[in-house]
Amino acid sequence: MPGSVLAVMAHPDDLELWAGGTLALHAQHASVVGAVQSHDPTRNAEAQASAKILGIDIALHSRLDAATVGTLIRRHRPDVLITHPTDDVHPDHRATAQAVLAGLPAAHIATGAPRKLYTCDTYNSLTLNGPVTASVIIDISATYERKMRALAEHHSQPISEHFGPMAENLSALWGARIGTARAEAFRPLPILGRLPAAAHL
C-alpha cells in the first residue's frame, strides 16, 4: 500500500501541477502533507481549498529552508518525500530542492525518514539540463479529475490560460508512455547513497 508522503514545493499551486494526482491517490490510504511557501492571504486560501479537494493536509511556511525541511521530516516522518528537480528552470523551485537536499541528511539519520526521495516534473518536462528523465510513472487516471479541480481552485493564477492546458498535456504524455490515460512522472534521488528498491512511490 502507498506510504505516507511529504511534498515540499515552492508555490501553492505546485503540489497540484506536478503531483496532484499522485498525492490524491496516496491520500486514499496514507497521510499526505503538502508543505509550500506561504504567500498572500488569497493564495494561501486557495492552497487550503485545493488541499481539501486532494484530501491532503497543507502546511504553509514563511520560509522553506533546510531547518524547516528538517523539522518537517522529524514531525511527520514520511515514507516518501517529493520535491522539485534540482535543475528546474524556475529559481524558486531550485532553491526549494536545494533546501530539501540540505535539510534531509541529518533528519534522516535521526529518524530513518524518508525512505524514498523523488523529484517531480516541471514546465513542459524541460530542465536546465534537458528533458526530465523519469523512471517512475504513476497512473493517475482515477484521480486526474480531482487533480484538475484542485488546480482550478487557484483562481488568482493563470490556470485556464496556461497551467491547466500544460498539466493536461503532460499527464496525457506520461500516460501514453505506460499505456494509460493520465500519469505523473517522478525521478528517484539517492538518500545517503541509497535509492528506492520499489518501482513505485
Q: How do residues 37-53 score in pLDDT, each as one tens digit?
A: 999 999 999 999 999 99
114: preceding bond cis by omega (within 30 degrees): yes
d(CA 100, CA 118): 11
Per-residue confidence band for 200, with pLDDT thresholds at 50, 70 and 90: low
Q: For residue 195, what pLDDT is reported?
A: 84
Where does 5-189 sit in CATH, by number?
Answer: 3.40.50.10320
CA of residue 198 relative to chain centroid, distance: 18
Per-residue confidence band for 199, with pLDDT thresholds at 50, 70 and 90: low
Residue with cell 500500500: 1
* Of 193 and 119, the one with more pLDDT: 119
Q: For residue 175, what pLDDT is reported?
A: 98
Domain ranges of the chain: 5-189
What average pLDDT score do residues 51-63 get? 97
Per-residue confidence band for 180, with pLDDT thresholds at 50, 70 and 90: very high
Long-range contacts of 57-61 (CB under 8 A, 24+ apart): 57/31, 57/32, 57/33, 58/33, 58/34, 59/33, 59/34, 59/35, 60/12, 60/35, 60/36, 61/35, 61/36, 61/37
Whole-number CA gyration radius for the chain: 15
